[in-house]
A and B are shown apart, each in its own frame.
Chain A
Amino acid sequence: MHAGDSTACDGTRSMPPPGAGPVPVSELVEGTSLWTDAWRRLRRNRLAVFGGAVLAVIAVLSIAGALQLASQSASPFFNWIPDPLPHRFDITNLEIANEPPSWSHWMGTDILGRDLFVRLMVGGAISLTVGLVSTAVSFAIGVSYGAISGYLGGRTDQAMMRIVDIIYSLPYIFLVIVLVSIAGRSFLILFAALGAVSWLTMARIVRGQVLSLKNQEFVEAARCVGASEFATIFRHIVPNTLGPVIVYTTLTVPTVMLQEAFLSFLGLGVPPPFSSWGTLVNDGVAAMAIYPWQLLFPALTLAFTLLSLNFVGDGLRDALDPQMRKE
């Protein structure tokens, strides 16, 4: 475990004359941070590397989809971007509706004659964005909320955690339905709804971690050397909670994407003509009996992505917490 043990007996050495300059940078011994260690372990995990590779391919395709979305947008900030794809996701052509996979349409076309592969790429851009943004929201809110609650403790902690319990107990699908029917279908509502529920577990995880860390001597030492409360929480405590948090984050992304798919499947997701993987699966189900590829490709893509994310999450868990793993 401790690499230093083997390198030097006790690192003691005779004192040089005081006033000597700093050791030149070239002579410094690079340390191995816990992150470096974890990264090394992660790279040795085959499933995680495979998951990472699949995600990289999907990310590239989704970025292509995002570029098309940008090139079509009304905003002058984005619409100078050239469209990299041969087909458009939103232009219908009933003459080529429901075509099977071919050289010009790799995954065939949908019921309105739109290229399914392109729609899948655009859907990927939207689904991944929903997943990442909601997870980022949950990360930011959950970590701060949990850390503050755990650090302050006492009544504040009690009150803050009861609020979490209350939000937990609301039936969130019902909440989303109400939100959507009031405000209409929009991306913002979707982010808000998914973000609002996914930070709760994060807050609980972080709070638990903080509770066990805040009585460690290095936290007291931080006070001793004049660190402010803010610095103590966010410089000393939070970085030490990040292991479990990162694992949970990578596992939140697929959960959120699945929920988005579920909401889209219920017709509460992204508004047409935009596509997300959820809406594509939904459309595919309607045509399943006659044009099975319309279901097959979106469903496979979704499944592969979720699987890969889970592989990466598991790999990260093993890499960040080697003791947890039973050999």
Chain B
Amino acid sequence: MNESLIALENLKVHFDLSRRGLVARATGRAAERIVKAVDGVTLDIRKGETLGLVGESGCGKSTTGRAILQLVRPTSGSVRFAGTDLVTLPEREMKQHRRRLQMIFQNPYASLNPRMTVGSIIAEPMRNFRLGFDDRQASVRTQELMNVVGLDPRYVKRYPHEFSGGQRQRIGIARALAADPRFIVADEPISALDVSIQAQIMNLLADLQERFELTYLFISHDLRAVRHVSDRVAVMYLGRIVELANATDIYSRQIHPYTKALISAVPVADPKLEKQRKRVVLQGDVPSPINPPTGCQFHTRCPFAIAACSRVVPAMTEIQPQHFASCIRVSPEHPDVEAVAAMPGDKHFAPDDRSLEK
């Protein structure tokens, strides 16, 4: 169970938006504009687990997923899949690994080709990867897969526009399964669906995981969904992982201030509890990934930030067993940042330090 299937090492995906045109160069306005969508992610995904990846929009979680599948080529770092570094593989060799690494997409209305029948959509991986099926075998398998994901196989000749959102997402899942994958990136697979359908799809994913021994990277901004499906959860902020822990730990004993804020933003269904509980509310917006803050990227919005936070890049540290966080204000001895901030010896926590923010 603890064997790692995917290992990300200092993965970076930078997009260069610099203007390199002749005019810009001549006028000296060729400003460097690099979006650091993913900026140094180190992560192990273990065989058979579901790793939840959460964060605000634009924090780089989808880009991380795409970079693992090499749909976006990483700028640096490595992605090891069963021992092979995918980053340095040429596209032709990458194709042989592609069938083991599949993806389920966010928008079931955009992820299926509207001109193809359901049958040909699901059969496409079998043909492209030359899995050695003849036409009859492929159609048998297509219909099996439709059964597996809970679609009526009589509808193989229908087109995507004749299905509902939940059914389409099932088609997308069947297509991913057709390649016989080991690892699936589920990129917000339920966020475009009705709440009543979300649970069905999540249960389906859980069933399939058991049946086909799949490993998932479950990307979502829906914390409750992530809690429901994940074994471990990684929290991402501005292209970096800030906290990584077992799903139960991250919901009950968050360490990083950002995770605290994120979790406390989830409303509690009980109005009495909701009134009583203490919330960590963040000020301001997420800074631009073009010019991310120095040091800890969260220091501009962190209620516990000290002067050193703007200088020191915090390393991922195992604060508690199997519970990692990147924050210089906590340590295995003092894991609670609020308690640290309240300590009398905490000279750094002064108003003039916080004025650094602006």
A contact set with B: CB distance below 8 Å: 1-5, 8, 10-13, 15-16, 18, 20-23, 27-34, 216-218, 220-228, 231, 236, 239-240
| A1 nearest CB neighbor, chain B only | B161
Chain A CB within 8 A of B166 CB: yes
Quick one: which of A22, A220, A226, A236 contacts B98, CB cutoff 8 A? A226
Chain A residues, Cβ within 8 Å of B170: 11
Q: Can you report 18 A-B residue pairs in the complex whose CB atoms are below 8 A from each other? A: A2-B161, A2-B163, A2-B164, A3-B161, A4-B161, A10-B164, A11-B155, A12-B151, A31-B117, A31-B158, A34-B115, A218-B112, A220-B111, A221-B113, A222-B113, A223-B71, A225-B129, A226-B125
Distance in Å: Cβ of A233 to nearest Cβ of chain B: 13
Check A21–B175 contact: CB distance below 8 A: no
Chain A to chain B: the 9 pairs with minimum beta-carbon distance, closest first? A31-B158, A226-B128, A217-B111, A4-B162, A225-B125, A4-B163, A239-B115, A217-B110, A12-B150
| A239 nearest CB neighbor, chain B only | B115
Chain A residues, Cβ within 8 Å of B129: 225-226
| B113 nearest CB neighbor, chain A only | A218
| Most chain A beta-carbon neighbours within 10 Å: one of B117, B139, B140, B155 | B155
Check A10–B128 contact: CB distance below 8 A: no
| Most chain B beta-carbon neighbours within 10 Å: one of A30, A224, A236, A240 | A224
CA A222 to CA B153, docked complex, whole Å: 22
List B residues 79-107 near A (Cβ within 8 Å): 95, 98-99, 102-103, 105-107
| A226 nearest CB neighbor, chain B only | B128
Chain A residues, Cβ within 8 Å of B144: 18, 20
CA A27 to CA B153, docked complex, whole Å: 10
CA A225 to CA B152, docked complex, whole Å: 23
Chain B residues, Cβ within 8 Å of A228: 128
Chain A residues, Cβ within 8 Å of B113: 218, 221-222, 236, 239-240
Check A23–B153 contact: CB distance below 8 A: yes
Chain A residues, Cβ within 8 Å of B112: 218, 221
Chain A residues, Cβ within 8 Å of B316: none
Check A227–B115 contact: CB distance below 8 A: no
Distance in Å: Cβ of A218 to nearest Cβ of chain B: 5
Distance in Å: Cβ of B203 to nearest Cβ of chain A: 11
Main secondary structure on A side of the interface with B:
loop
A217-B105, A226-B125 known, 5 other contacts, Cβ within 8 Å: A4-B162, A11-B155, A220-B103, A221-B105, A222-B113
Q: Assuming the A-B contacts A2-B162, A32-B162, are A221 and B200 also in contact, with contact meaning beta carbons closer than 8 angstroms in the complex?
A: no
Chain A CB within 8 A of B262 CB: no
Give 1 or 0 for each of B159-191: 1 = CB within 8 Å of chain A CB.
Answer: 101111011001010011011000000000000
Distance in Å: Cβ of A210 to nearest Cβ of chain B: 14
Distance in Å: Cβ of A255 to nearest Cβ of chain B: 27
Chain A CB within 8 A of B248 CB: no
Chain A residues, Cβ within 8 Å of B163: 2, 4, 11
Chain A CB within 8 A of B154 CB: yes
Chain A CB within 8 A of B57 CB: no
Q: Assuming the A-B contacts A34-B159, A226-B129, are A217 and B106 also in contact, with contact meaning beta carbons closer than 8 angstroms in the complex?
A: yes
Chain B residues, Cβ within 8 Å of A8: 152, 167
Check B110–A240 contact: CB distance below 8 A: no
Give 1 or 0 for each of B115-151: 1 = CB within 8 Å of chain A CB.
Answer: 1011000001100110000001001100110011011
| A11 nearest CB neighbor, chain B only | B167
Chain A CB within 8 A of B307 CB: no
Distance in Å: Cβ of B100 to nearest Cβ of chain A: 11
CA A131 to CA B139, docked complex, whole Å: 42
CA A22 to CA B143, docked complex, whole Å: 6
Chain A CB within 8 A of B114 CB: yes
